[in-house]
Amino acid sequence: DAKTTQPNSMESNEEEPVHLPCNHSTISGTDYIHWYRQLPSQGPEYVIHGLTSNVNNRMASLAIAEDRKSSTLILHRATLRDAAVYYCILGYYGGSQGNLIFGKGTKLSVKP
């Protein structure tokens, strides 16, 4: 079962920053926080992941709370192409059976 909670939907204006929240109050010490997104009629696409420290890559930034019970995916300047369902997922590492369990995600709409 998914162990994260996200808002069902969010709206943003084009070229404005977007902050997508995720709660994961039952996160364990070995859980990484992953974000994927799924554009309409496409397969999921990896966005970013982190463990404790904030992370940046070319697509987004990930801000992780100090207690790790929540995180925020930051899109610095939303474009129309960023309209998608964003999934926050806890992934287990350290063994041979890591896998990703997807929840309902947040549907992000971007207005021109």
- Binding region for another protein (CB under 8 A): 32, 34, 38, 41-46, 49, 85, 87, 91, 93-102, 104-105
Q: How far is the CB of 69 from another protein (least distance, A)?
A: 20
- Cα–Cα distance between 89 and 1 in angstroms, integer? 11
Q: How far is the CB of 45 from another protein (least distance, A)?
A: 7
Residue with tokens 């964003």: 86
Grouping H, G, I as helix, E, B as strand and the rest as coil, residue 78 is coil
Nearer Cβ to another protein, position 38 or 61? Answer: 38
3-state helix, strand, coil in the chain (%, to 5): 5, 50, 50
Q: How far is the CB of 43 from another protein (least distance, A)?
A: 3
